[in-house]
Structure 1
């Protein structure tokens, strides 16, 4: 009985860890481009939406790199 319980607990822990590690948040965004100008980032983001490449996008300024990052 003890060995069976130990095996079942171990299997449950491994399964839980596997599901936790493999899960990604629903709002995860992908880096779609890097631009010097905000207008260029917006232009490409809008084109991606029009073409159906992504549903939504955001252009975010990263001051330490001095570039705009397009996330979709």
Structure 2
């Protein structure tokens, strides 16, 4: 599993560490489209958990050495 983010940390939009995924506008677009990482919405506040960010990133891992056997 990817360890790109601290597992037990919470991240808020605008956090520089989230720039690894995209800028604040990109994360907003993903939330609107329902395609980004899991998040909590508490009132107007958006919170990403490090564990969810790592799981989302891991699901998008591409291994160029995988022959894609079906």
TM superposition score category, shorter chain reference = under 0.3
- TM-score normalised to the size of structure 2? 0.23
> Could you state the TM-score of these two structures normalised by the residue count of structure 1?
0.23
Q: Larger relative contact order (C-alpha < 8 A, sep ≥ 6)?
A: 2
